[in-house]
A = this chain, B = another copy of it.
Amino acid sequence: MSNANVLPVLEPEAVVPCCPPLTAASLSEADAVRMAAMFKALGDPVRLRLFSRVASHEGGEACVCDIQDVGVSQPTVSHHLKKLREAGLLTSERRGTWVYYRVEPSVLAAMAGMLAGAAR
- Seen from chain A, the residues whose Cβ lies within 8 Å of a Cβ on chain B are 22-27, 29, 32-33, 35-37, 39-49, 51-53, 55-56, 71, 103, 105-106, 108-109, 111-112, 115-120
Known: A22-B51, A36-B42, A40-B44. A108 touches B115 (CB 8 A): yes
State whether A36 and B48 are in contact (beta carbons under 8 Å apart), knowing that A112-B115, A115-B111 are contacts in the complex: yes
**Interface of A, helix, strand, loop or mixed by DSSP:** helix
Residue A52 contacts which of B27, B37, B49 (CB distance < 8 angstroms)? Answer: B27
* Chain B residues in 8 Å Cβ range of A52: 22, 25-27, 32
**In the complex, A108→B48 CA distance in Å?**
17
CB distance from A115 to the nearest CB of B (A): 4
Total identical chains: 2
List, in ascending order, chain B residues with CB within 8 A of A48's CB.
Answer: 27, 32, 35-36, 39
Chain B residues near A47 (CB-CB < 8 A):
36
